[in-house]
Structure 1
Amino acid sequence: MRLVVVIATFGRKEQLARLLDHLERQERLPDEVIVSVPDETHVQLHETDRFPVSLVLGRSGLCAQRNQALEQASGRFDVVTFFDDDFIPQDDYLRLLEQAFQEHQDWAVVMGHVVKDGARTAGLRFEEGLQILAAERAQPPVELKITDHIGAYGCNMSIRAKLIGELRFDERLVLYGWQEDIDFTSQLRRFGRVVGLSTLRGVHLGLKAGRVSGERFGYSQIVNPIYLIRKGTVPASFALRLVIRNIGANILRSIWPEPYVDRRGRLRGNLTALAHVMMGRIEPEYIQSIAPSEAK
């Protein structure tokens, strides 16, 4: 099988360079890595003789950048793997992934298990991620568990390329996207299973640099799920749980917010979004009208 790794990145060129270095340790090397960035200021050129690295320049925003990479990859690969620039895969990740797709022709999308997710905390340093993976390797092998999902977690997800066709990420989910991964991969369930594998291991650092502001993110927390319900790609039961959980967390924690989360900004975004929804205004791209501030 031919396997490409796609990395869409923005404002994290040092992190990107470290990830590319780390990918050289894969037991099964990628046949190519495609890096998608708005322009060359977001990337530090990387030289390796272990796999080719190609650069795609163009529109900014996670969905737009991933779409540009898909155009570059079209027709050339059997598996397309998306890694966030702050996801660190275990060294056997791509080998086990290829094996999984070869042995299960009814699988459309495969995602791995995030051993530790810094997106839920203040974030992790690269060195911490490597230490966590080293500790994992010292443990007995993990028992394989296969779990079906509505959609995949975008920090590490892989798709059988022939099923993608003309499907693309929804560019109305602008900037950071949020739920763009579920929207995209849930549409592939009509072709096969969307599964998570316990044996595919990695650490998501959850870096805060390059993300949108608290108020913008808070707006997306409400409007994006509602938009996807109307679009028909996400069940209302799934999306409304997200909305309720996010509003509840932001209300409760805005009293004593975590230092690494702008809870009050998120709550302001939530309230603006709720007002828009009540008026029938479902516009994910509205976040571009919200003044940017420090991202948390």
Structure 2
Amino acid sequence: MPFERYPGRTDLRIAVGIATTGRRRILHSVVPHLLDQSRLADCIVICAADRDDVDADALGALLDRTRIVFAERGLCRQRNRILQDMEDVDILLFLDDDFLIAPNYLEETVRIFRSYPDVVMSTGTVDADGILGPGIPLEDGLRIIRSHSKTTPTGREKQVYSGYGCNMAVRLSTVRGYGLRFDENLPLYGWLEDVDFSRQLARHGRIVSSERLHGVHLGTKSGRTSGLRLGYSQIANPVYLMSKKTMSPRHAAPQIMRNLVANAVKFIRPEPWVDRRGRLLGNMRAVGDLVRGRLSPRNVTVLE
């Protein structure tokens, strides 16, 4: 059943889609802040892997515009399930469950897609990214976000190779028209699923990063894939994407080398929040499978 439009609205309709797994606490802390937007979402779809991942009653005032759906665990599977519920929407903004957006984010996203008909994906400027460190407390993230509510949006859009999966909006007429989907051969965390989907869309229009869209990625560590599995994906997934031509060797090879070097160099004195031993072991398992001709992204599902 399509979502009901706002009465009298003729502008582009925008939805927010959030896939979540095992992160109930951060989901319920972050999602209510979508009510702070200067232009509210026409609908919100949360796709969980388990009924314990989300509590409808905790959504409060958001409940009347929110749909909760379920899919088997896996970022690509869950995002594809969200796409199924977008019958009456023009723009879909995919957000991680630990990503905070500035109060004008949705309004500015609509402006970009309305102003540039050739834009098929937009992604924002991440003012702080907890993935690169131990994570950012919610209150610190909100403090950064609130600073943008006091300023006039400035900046421009520039063409980029891919969106950043924690905050990327897509033009659904293009997604529907070409039958595009996230590749479910990238299981679980779906490492580089954003690059793969971006490059599918890039065949049909421009991907832009905007300095007018701001957000904070809290980088919450709970519920993420193991170091061993991530390390395997760091090799297997870019090799797979090169084979299907959604990632060029020029982009894939440096990324593979960066991860290999980082895991090897930091193995002796790892960061407390990173399982460098597991990642390096996963890298080595993947290299071994590559040599033996057995490399596949799906192998992570049987790693222990």
TM-score (norm 1): 0.94
Match of 2:44 in 1: 33
> Cα distance, 1:250 vs. partner?
0.6
Check the 8 A contact 2:31/2:97 in 1, yes or no: no
Cα distance in 2, alignment partners of residues 91 and 142 from structure 1: 11
Moved more, 141-150 or 196-205: 141-150
Listed as ranges, the matches of 1:223-238 within 5 Å are 223-238=236-251
Cα distance in 1, alignment partners of residues 237 and 102 from structure 2: 32
> Cα distance, 1:50 vs. partner?
8.1
Moved more, 278-287 or 77-86: 278-287
Listed as ranges, the matches of 1:5-24 within 5 Å are 5-24=16-35
Cα distance in 2, alignment partners of residues 125 and 108 from structure 1: 33
**What's the secondary structure of 1:177's corresponding residue?**
coil
Cα distance in 2, alignment partners of residues 148 and 190 from structure 1: 13
Cα distance in 2, alignment partners of residues 141 and 250 from structure 1: 41
Check the 8 A contact 2:73/2:188 in 1, yes or no: yes
Listed as ranges, the matches of 1:66-145 within 5 Å are 66-73=79-86, 75-138=87-150, 141=152, 143-145=154-156
Unaligned segments of structure 2, at least 5 residues: 1-11
Match of 1:294 in 2: none
Cα distance in 2, alignment partners of residues 49 and 176 from structure 1: 27
The CA RMSD over aligned residues, in Å, is 1.3
Cα distance in 1, alignment partners of residues 88 and 293 from structure 2: 42
Check the 8 A contact 1:16/1:44 in 2, yes or no: no
Cα distance in 1, alignment partners of residues 265 and 104 from structure 2: 41
Detail structure 1 runs of 4+ shifted over 6 Å in the superposition.
none
Amino acid aligned to 1:8 = A
What percentage of residue pairs aligned between the two structures are identical? 39
Deviation per CA, 1:12-53: give whole Å up to 9, x if none: 112112222100010000000000011211002123268510
Equivalent residue pairs, number: 289
Cα distance in 2, alignment partners of residues 116 and 238 from structure 1: 24
Check the 8 A contact 2:103/2:148 in 1, yes or no: no
Listed as ranges, the matches of 1:150-161 within 5 Å are 150-161=161-172
Match of 2:295 in 1: 282
> Cα distance, 1:143 vs. partner?
3.6
Q: Does 2:264 correspond to 1:257? A: no
Check the 8 A contact 2:158/2:209 in 1, yes or no: yes
Cα distance in 2, alignment partners of residues 49 and 8 from structure 1: 17
Cα distance in 2, alignment partners of residues 94 and 136 from structure 1: 13
**What's the secondary structure of 2:211's corresponding residue?**
strand
Deviation per CA, 1:188-241: give whole Å up to 9, x if none: 111110010011000000111111111110000011000000011111110111
Amino acid aligned to 2:135 = G
Cα distance in 2, alignment partners of residues 134 and 49 from structure 1: 20
**What's the secondary structure of 1:202's corresponding residue?**
strand
Cα distance in 2, alignment partners of residues 213 and 124 from structure 1: 20
Match of 1:178 in 2: 191
Change beyond 3 A, Cα 1:142–1:28: closer
Cα distance in 1, alignment partners of residues 80 and 128 from structure 2: 28
Unaligned segments of structure 1, at least 5 residues: 292-296
**What's the secondary structure of 1:201's corresponding residue?**
strand
Amino acid aligned to 2:143 = Q
Q: Among 146, 159, 164, which residue is 1:148 paired with?
A: 159
